[in-house]
Amino acid sequence: MDNLKDVSDEDIVRKILQGEEELFAEIVRRFQKRIVNIGMMFFRNRDDALDFAQEVFVRAYEGLASYGGKAKFRFWITKVAYHHGINTAKSGTRPESLTEHAWEGDAPNDGFEKDEIRKALKKAVEALPEHYRVCVDLYFFYELSYGEISKITGFPVNTIKSNVFRAKQMLRDSLKGTIAEEYHEM
């Protein structure tokens, strides 16, 4: 499998489980940014997030046989990372919002104005209660469905819908009068 660009994550996982362990490097390449960003939810610096990502990839590799293929692999590895982060956070580290990191390289290119919008949104999202922030981060920035978020967090789907709805209201209120007031996602 020389050209892996068009090969699905699930097919790569099947090949790894069939003995082509070297293909796990492709899984790391594809998901490193996502896992580091999740690490940034739980740590305040990039070095710790990188260490966290390494731990998650080791856990994912060791538990790869438990991936049943019923859901997309991206969902499975996100769940592994989230639960490892929650378990790590029990030691006292408070999660940090994903917004700064999830938007790296995705900011609109209008310069100063778009940078100010991103800063205002980041500040508003960070001010949300944690249970709202987690749902907003996973829904908007990782584009996970309510069902996927429920499986990751253990929150009921209706609670997640309610949290996202309330968070959007809180964000609209906190962004009134700022440059980000008219941001289309809210």
Instruction: Indicate yes or no: pTM above 0.75.
Output: no
Tokens of 119: 């800063």
What are the CA-CA distances from residue 43 to residues 9, 86, 92 (Å)?
27, 11, 10
Domain CATH code at residue 62:
1.10.1740.10
Q: What is the pLDDT of residues 93-142, one digit of tens each?
A: 544 444 444 444 444 444 566 677 777 777 888 888 888 888 888 888 78
Whether residue 16 is predicted with pLDDT greater than 70 in this model: the reply is yes
Q: Within this chain, do residues 162 and 113 fall inside the same structural domain, yes or no? A: yes
How would you class 37 by CB atoms within 10 Å of its CB: exposed for 0-12, middle for 13-18, buried for 19 or more? buried
Q: Within this chain, do residues 85 and 16 fall inside the same structural domain, yes or no? A: yes
Range of the domain at 144: 99-175
Whether residue 155 is predicted with pLDDT greater than 80 in this model: the reply is yes
Task: Tell which of 25, 54, 89 closes a domain.
Answer: 89
4 lies in a domain? no
Task: Tell which of 46, 67, 89 closes a domain.
Answer: 89
Q: What is the mean pLDDT of residues 68-94?
A: 81
Q: Within this chain, do residues 132 and 82 fall inside the same structural domain, yes or no? A: no
Q: Within this chain, do residues 117 and 149 fall inside the same structural domain, yes or no? A: yes
Q: Residue 89's closest CA among 54, 138, 42?
A: 42
32 lies in a domain? yes
Tokens 């856990």 correspond to: 59
Question: Residues with Cβ < 8 Å from 1, sequence gap 6 or more?
Answer: 7, 12, 15, 20, 23
157 lies in a domain? yes
Q: How many CA atoms lie within 13 A of 31 on its CB side?
A: 29
DSSP 92: S
DSSP 179: T
1 lies in a domain? no
Q: Within this chain, do residues 82 and 139 fall inside the same structural domain, yes or no? A: no
60 lies in a domain? yes
pLDDT band at 184 (very low <50, low <70, confident <90, very high): very low
What are the CA-CA distances from residue 37 to residues 99, 117, 133, 177 (Å)?
9, 20, 14, 30
Q: Within this chain, do residues 77 and 136 fall inside the same structural domain, yes or no? A: no
Domain CATH code at residue 104:
1.10.10.10
Number of domains in the chain: 2
Percent over 90 (pLDDT), the chain: 37
Tokens of 158: 């209706």
Residue 11, amino acid: D
Q: Within this chain, do residues 77 and 130 fall inside the same structural domain, yes or no? A: no
